[in-house]
């Protein structure tokens, strides 16, 4: 049985942040949460990661309530634990203590075995002139692709 293709993205992450290093973390979810995630009813646009007692947590990740669940529903915006190896956690913790670094979620997906995973990135915020440079590079690439498509 192949799990369905799920890909929930944070589209503004690459525009607002300079991505330095990427990691894949497991998500500790409850029963109604994983069912809602499998239906694609989750959002990570406003989410961010933080350390609490040497553990990594994701905050402001919205997972909608599952329709078929009983009266024991989950909270849509509760903090959820991210599962990483200790060496990865130590590396991230040392970098986050430096000024200017943060950890942001990039996407939520299902693994081959059916587990919910989150791709996170160690990032540094971009300045406004960096954002203008990104927009200019994207426009130039689009113009080049258009001109090349005329010759095909």
Mean pLDDT of 14-24: 89
Give residue 89's Cα distance to chain centre: 16
Mean pLDDT of 129-136: 81
CB 77, CB 57: distance < 8 Å: no
Mean pLDDT of 100-121: 91
Residue 4, pLDDT score: 58
Measured CA to CA, the distance from residue 56 to residue 59 in angstroms comes to: 10
Mean pLDDT of 55-66: 90
Give me the percent of the chain exceeding a pLDDT of 70: 97
Which of 85, 104, 109, 121 minimizes the C-alpha distance to 34? 109
Residue 117, pLDDT score: 92
Give me the percent of the chain exceeding a pLDDT of 90: 39
Measured CA to CA, the distance from residue 2 to residue 52 in angstroms comes to: 35
Q: In the chain, what are the domains?
A: 7-126 (2.40.280.10)
The pLDDT tens digits for 66-99 are 877 777 777 788 899 999 999 999 999 999 988 8
Measured CA to CA, the distance from residue 10 to residue 30 in angstroms comes to: 22
CB 123, CB 13: distance < 8 Å: yes
Which of 57, 56, 64 minimizes the C-alpha distance to 34? 64
pTM recorded for the entire structure:
0.78
CB 80, CB 94: distance < 8 Å: no
């Amino acid at each position: 049985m192949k799990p369905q293709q799920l890909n929930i993205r944070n589209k503004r992450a690459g525009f607002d942040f300079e991505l330095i290093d990427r990691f894949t973390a497991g998500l500790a979810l409850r029963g109604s949460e994983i069912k809602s995630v499998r239906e694609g009813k989750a959002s990570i646009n406003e989410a961010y990661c933080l350390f609490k007692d040497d553990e990594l947590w994701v905050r402001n990740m919205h997972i909608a309530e599952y329709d078929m669940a009983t009266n024991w529903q989950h909270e849509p915006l509760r903090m959820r634990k991210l599962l990483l190896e200790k060496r990865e956690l130590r590396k991230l913790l040392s970098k986050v203590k430096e000024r200017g670094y943060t950890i942001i979620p990039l996407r939520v997906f299902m693994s081959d075995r059916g587990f919910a995973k989150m791709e996170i990135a160690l990032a540094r915020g971009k300045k406004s002139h960096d954002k203008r440079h990104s927009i200019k590079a994207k426009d130039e690439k689009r113009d080049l692709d258009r001109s090349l498509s005329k010759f095909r």
